[in-house]
Amino acid sequence: MATAGGARPPAPGDDGRRGAARVARVPRLLRVPVRRRGARMRLKLLGAGRLGSLAGLGRGGAGALALPGCLLYTRAGAAPHLTHDTLREVRGVPGVAHVALPALAEIHDVLEEYKEGAAKFMGMPDAVLYCSLHDPVTPCPSGYNTNKMVSLWGSSGRMEITASKFMDIQRAIQPDWFQCISDGDTISGEAGRKRAQKSVDRSLSFLDICLQLQEESPELQGSVMFGAIEGGDILEERLRSARETAKRPVGGFLLDGFQGSAMAKETKLKLIASVTAELPEDKPRIIHGVGKPDEVLECIERGVDIFESFFPFQVTERGCALVFSYDCHPAPEATVLPQNGIQDLEKNGAQEDQEEVSKADPEMTPFEISLKDKKYHDDFGPLLEGCSCYCCQRHTRAYVHHLLVTNELLAGVLLMMHNFQHYFGFFSAVRDALRDSKLDQLKELIFRQALQGPASTALRH
């Protein structure tokens, strides 16, 4: 079997470890061997960690994605709550849009009749589209996969699909990137070694079937398949999955089964690092289910390139706004509190928020404030001081609070615009930090906030 898609052998001077973040001496330009016409994706690494870019994306080959970076989370092809023109007001929107398969599987017959692919059907003909197997926000109950079939969960309920049916649907979608059908049902915390082993076996079996079917599908010649790395929380299985998947001619890798909170953090980080060490450097690595800024940084350090952006959507749905700082060097006049946040606990709005509102929403993180809180009723400051988003430039916390309390649809629109822009700005800051060798400072800033809430929210107007 050809290994044209496999990893390069180690060059002289390499210490043999591949994939983990380390300082390289010279920038390297590596190409994905083009086995298919139309797959012009190129990954370029600039040296600091895995700072770099993906170019040659999309139908015309003009799409690009800066790395490390995130995708634009959509629900059936539209950013949540946002029309095309409101999305245009958001700065830093990533070059690749993320859509989940279930919504498209439910309209498979429509897409088949349409014939021109999902991106065009959804009103984004020029977008670069990544299709994941599941929606990160929809829970996938455990126990519904078999050796031949995987269950998807959509608005009409459960759908069982085989590898063959999966490829039928992908032929109608014609995505630029897609996750190969895989069995990732290992996150419930009850999966043991046997279940982890099954997830790897099944996923490899699906992968081989789908690769063969892709060969036979003219509609998918331009699409890049991402192989899913499974194995639950069993190191052996994770390594096996990584090595075996890497032998196949996939265009990229997806680290699956790290969603949820059942896996211990130390285990999760160790497995991620171990997995990426087995993967070729010249192919992108996506992870599903990781969204919080501290966790994003931990994964980037361990060789992950691409993340989803469901996290700002979840923040929006609970009526919250992201306010964490990612500016390692704020201008002196913008520093509203000294960096010794511990002494300022009683002034720290977000800290109080955690105590009062975490009773209401246990999902709330230290990176956000809850605009439903009564104390914002007459706060005439923007959601976040210094933010240049549409909402912060025009509206106040008091207005957004009012919209939430009166159940107005506009609340979701404004919060989504702010939360997306802030999140995309965070990724931009990560790339800057890598370029300027300041990742440690950024980590320190983010991790400090993860523990005690952002320092900048106490200023009231």
| Options 395, 418, 422, 431; binder of another protein; rule CB under 8 A | 395
**Does 402 interact with another protein (rule: CB under 8 A)?**
yes
Decide whether 168 or 327 has the Cβ nearer to another protein: 168
| Options 31, 35, 394, 460; binder of another protein; rule CB under 8 A | 394
| Options 7, 24, 55, 78; binder of another protein; rule CB under 8 A | 78
Pairing state between β 52-57 and 63-67: antiparallel
R_g of the chain, CA atoms, integer Å:
22
Shortest spacing between CB 167 and another protein, in angstroms = 21
| Options 21, 39, 105, 122; binder of another protein; rule CB under 8 A | 122
**Does 169 interact with another protein (rule: CB under 8 A)?**
no
| Options 46, 55, 336, 398; binder of another protein; rule CB under 8 A | 398
* Candidate ranges 9-17, 48-56, 57-65, 84-92; the one touching another protein (CB under 8 A): 84-92
Q: How far apart are CA 356 and CA 294, in angstroms?
A: 23
- Terminus-to-terminus CA distance in the chain, angstroms? 67
Long-range contacts of 355-362 (CB under 8 A, 24+ apart): 361/318, 361/320
Shortest spacing between CB 196 and another protein, in angstroms = 32
Decide whether 171 or 401 has the Cβ nearer to another protein: 401
Pairing state between β 149-154 and 157-162: antiparallel
308 to each of 2, 232, 292, how far by Cα in Å? 32, 20, 10
The three-state secondary structure class of 211 is: helix
Q: Angle, nearest 10°, between helix axes 293-301 and 439-452?
A: 150
Is 81 annotated in a binding site? The answer is no
* Candidate ranges 57-65, 176-184, 394-402, 441-449; the one touching another protein (CB under 8 A): 394-402
Is 38 in contact with 276 (CB distance < 8 Å)?
Answer: no
Shortest spacing between CB 444 and another protein, in angstroms = 37
| Options 396, 421, 456, 457; binder of another protein; rule CB under 8 A | 396
**Does 127 interact with another protein (rule: CB under 8 A)?**
no
Q: How far apart are CA 233 and CA 267, in angstroms?
A: 7
* Candidate ranges 12-20, 233-241, 281-289, 372-380; the one touching another protein (CB under 8 A): 372-380
Shortest spacing between CB 187 and another protein, in angstroms = 23
Neighbours of 301 (CB within 10 A): 18
Pairing state between β 368-370 and 42-45: unpaired
The full length of the chain comes to 461
Q: H or E element: which one contains 266?
A: helix 265-277
- Contacts with 422 (C-beta within 8 Å, 6 or more apart), sequence order: 312, 321, 322, 323, 384, 387, 389
* Candidate ranges 243-251, 268-276, 400-408, 420-428; the one touching another protein (CB under 8 A): 400-408
Neighbours of 305 (CB within 10 A): 25
Please give the torsion angle defined by the CA atoms of residues 117, 121, 124 and 127, in that order, rounded to the nearest 10 degrees.
Answer: -20
Q: How far is CA 282 from the centre of its chain?
A: 19
* Candidate ranges 26-34, 42-50, 106-114, 338-346; the one touching another protein (CB under 8 A): 106-114
Residues 311-350 that bind another protein (CB under 8 A): none
* Candidate ranges 2-10, 49-57, 81-89, 240-248; the one touching another protein (CB under 8 A): 81-89
**Does 277 interact with another protein (rule: CB under 8 A)?**
no
**Does 139 interact with another protein (rule: CB under 8 A)?**
no
How many residues bind to another protein according to rule CB under 8 A?
A: 44
The three-state secondary structure class of 394 is: helix
Is 395 annotated in a binding site? The answer is no
Decide whether 85 or 355 has the Cβ nearer to another protein: 85
**Does 108 interact with another protein (rule: CB under 8 A)?**
no
Query: Tokens 């180690």 correspond to what residue?
Result: 10
> What is the 8-class DSSP label of residue 261?
S
Is 377 annotated in a binding site? The answer is no
Q: What ranges make up the beta strands (E) of 21-148?
A: 28-31, 42-45, 52-57, 63-67, 69-70, 72-73, 96-100, 128-132
Shortest spacing between CB 375 and another protein, in angstroms = 13
**Does 400 interact with another protein (rule: CB under 8 A)?**
no
**Does 81 interact with another protein (rule: CB under 8 A)?**
yes
Long-range contacts of 151-154 (CB under 8 A, 24+ apart): 152/101, 152/102, 152/105, 153/102, 154/102, 154/103, 154/105, 154/106
| Options 311, 326, 390, 423; binder of another protein; rule CB under 8 A | 390
* Candidate ranges 145-153, 169-177, 209-217, 391-399; the one touching another protein (CB under 8 A): 391-399
**Does 123 interact with another protein (rule: CB under 8 A)?**
yes
Is 389 annotated in a binding site? The answer is yes
**Residue positions in the annotated binding site for Zn(2+)?**
387, 389, 392, 418
Query: Which residue ranges are tagged as binding site?
Result: 387, 389, 392, 418
Q: Which residues bind another protein (CB under 8 A)?
A: 75-86, 89, 103, 106-107, 109-110, 113-114, 121-123, 155, 377-378, 380, 390, 394-396, 398-399, 401-403, 405-406, 408-410, 412-414
